[in-house]
């Protein structure tokens, strides 16, 4: 099967060349300096739909017999939906696209924009997997055609053209490592198919979100398993169950598979924006985030990271910053019981907090007209070690407090 998919990938590369943008693979000076390596970014965020998903969607749809005679269906957290919508408009095919209700509004608008009058968008379920089950059922009842985002050989072949472009762009470079984001496994299996054939010495590393490490769970079990739940924050890769075909292709072909905490991804996303002027979505930052965990190994090597998508809604930036600060140990939330005396808050600010600490959240209630209840306070520190100084001072002055960062249920109730 893998040899057949490789052949289909070569064919797809030829047929997609007039529709799909041949995105650049460029050496990033800043990231290369940080890791003392030659780090190249495959910029699929510059694709016409701002992600690689158009490749697989259009390759699948162009091969359908008599596509205009049937409705096509798909389920997606956003990027595959845009690829299908764009393909529907180009091919004049009617489509029905099912997306989780948690999908960022920016992605929903883009799907409608690309699909014009050719697609209908249905918001249903909390996750991609919820939407997929409903979409499959409706497609089967209507005898339509389902365009799967990753578990299909023609979709995998389309995604594999990313690998062909990388090798064409870096034909004079021996690629030591390639980092590939993993959701359902379509892109990863496409990259594996191409690189094992054309660059077999390249070490392929799959990168999953820690809150949706479905491939790792399947690898550990030796068969595809479904996670009971996922953290949907990295929506472009938050999949409960990887594809059967991708799993069979990649299971024995990876050099490594790593799960990256969502907070680290947020830090990387902000770094890419601030230092490299690259706007990515959380899934698009996965591979660059993974470099930190391989820093010693990749030093002096040629490394490729796939920037899989740039569909980030600006309204998410506050949440992204918050997650980054929490992960880096620079923001801390407490329930504090201040002494019942005048000037207690002033004392806390001047004597307990450090000169560089900043109050970013403050809420309190009065038990009655004379007595103040506990204060919920968020403090942003300049460096990680400042947290312990803050805690030591509260303890020294007998200020009762509860630390909220490590109590997620209470944190969500009071802050989220």
Catalytic residues: 53, 308
Cβ-Cβ contacts under 8 Å for 193 (sequence gap 6 or more): 2, 5, 6, 9, 156, 157, 160, 163, 249
Q: Judge whether 287 and 180 are in contact, CB under 8 Å.
A: yes
Torsion of CA 407, 409, 411, 412, to 10 degrees: 160
> How many angstroms separate the CA atoms of 219 and 345, rounded?
53
> How many angstroms separate the CA atoms of 306 and 183, rounded?
13
Q: Judge whether 199 and 192 are in contact, CB under 8 Å.
A: no
Given the DSSP bridges, would you call strands 177-181 and 203-209 parallel, antiparallel or unpaired? parallel
For 62-214, where are the E strands, in sequence order?
Answer: 72-75, 95-99, 119-123, 145-146, 177-181, 203-209
3-class SS of residue 364: strand
Query: Which of 190, 150, 247 has its CA nearest to residue 5?
Result: 190
CA within 13 Å, CB half, 274: 8
3-class SS of residue 404: coil
Query: Which of 47, 38, 73, 62 has its CA nearest to residue 149?
Result: 73
Sheet with 95-99, strands from edge to edge, namely 119-123, 95-99, 72-75, 145-146
Q: Judge whether 91 and 62 are in contact, CB under 8 Å.
A: yes
> How many angstroms separate the CA atoms of 2 and 289, rounded?
29
Query: Please, is 351 exposed, middle or buried when counting C-beta atoms within 10 Å of its C-beta (0-12, 13-18, 19+)?
Result: exposed
> How many angstroms separate the CA atoms of 161 and 14, rounded?
9
> How many angstroms separate the CA atoms of 247 and 225, rounded?
10
Task: State the DSSP H helix or E strand holding residue 253, giving kind and residue range, or none if neither.
Answer: none
| Distance, CA of 51 to chain centre | 12
> How many angstroms separate the CA atoms of 280 and 273, rounded?
8
């Amino acid at each position: 099967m893998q040899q057949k998919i490789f052949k289909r990938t070569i064919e797809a590369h030829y047929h997609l060349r007039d529709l799909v943008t041949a995105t650049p693979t460029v050496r990033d000076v800043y990231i290369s300096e940080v890791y003392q390596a030659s780090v190249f970014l495959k910029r699929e965020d510059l694709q016409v739909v701002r992600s690689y998903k158009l490749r697989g969607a259009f390759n699948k749809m162009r091969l359908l017999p008599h596509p205009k005679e049937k409705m096509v269906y798909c389920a997606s957290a956003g990027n595959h939906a845009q690829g299908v919508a764009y393909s529907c408009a180009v091919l004049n095919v009617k489509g029905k696209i099912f997306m989780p209700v948690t999908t960022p509004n920016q992605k929903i608008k883009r799907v409608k924009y690309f699909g014009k009058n050719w697609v209908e968008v249905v918001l249903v379920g909390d996750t991609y997997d919820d939407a997929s089950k409903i979409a499959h059922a409706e497609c089967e009842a209507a005898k339509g055609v389902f365009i799967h985002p990753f578990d299909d050989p023609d979709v995998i072949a389309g995604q594999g053209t990313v690998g062909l472009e990388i090798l064409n762009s870096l034909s004079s470079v021996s690629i030591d490592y390639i980092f590939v984001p993993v959701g359902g496994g379509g892109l990863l299996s496409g990259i594996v198919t191409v690189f094992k054939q054309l660059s077999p010495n390249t070490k392929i590393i799959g990168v999953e979100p820690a809150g949706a490490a479905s491939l790792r769970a399947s690898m550990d079990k030796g068969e595809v398993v479904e996670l009971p739940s996922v953290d949907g924050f990295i929506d472009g890769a938050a999949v409960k169950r990887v594809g059967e075909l991708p799993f069979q292709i990649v299971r024995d072909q990876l050099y490594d598979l790593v799960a990256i905490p969502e907070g680290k991804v947020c830090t990387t996303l902000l770094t890419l924006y601030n230092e490299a002027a690259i706007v990515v979505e959380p899934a698009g930052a996965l591979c660059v985030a993974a470099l930190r965990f391989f820093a010693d190994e990749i030093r002096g090597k040629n490394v490729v990271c796939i920037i899989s998508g740039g569909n980030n809604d600006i309204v998410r930036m506050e949440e992204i910053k918050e997650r980054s600060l929490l992960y880096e140990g620079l923001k801390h939330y407490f329930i504090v019981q201040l002494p019942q005396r005048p000037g207690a808050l002033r004392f806390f600010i001047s004597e307990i907090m450090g000169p560089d600490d900043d109050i970013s959240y403050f809420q309190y209630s009065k038990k009655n007209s004379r007595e103040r209840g506990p204060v919920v306070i968020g403090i942003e520190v300049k460096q990680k070690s400042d947290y312990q100084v803050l805690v030591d001072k509260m303890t020294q002055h007998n200020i009762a407090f509860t630390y909220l960062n490590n109590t997620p249920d209470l944190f969500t109730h009071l802050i989220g």
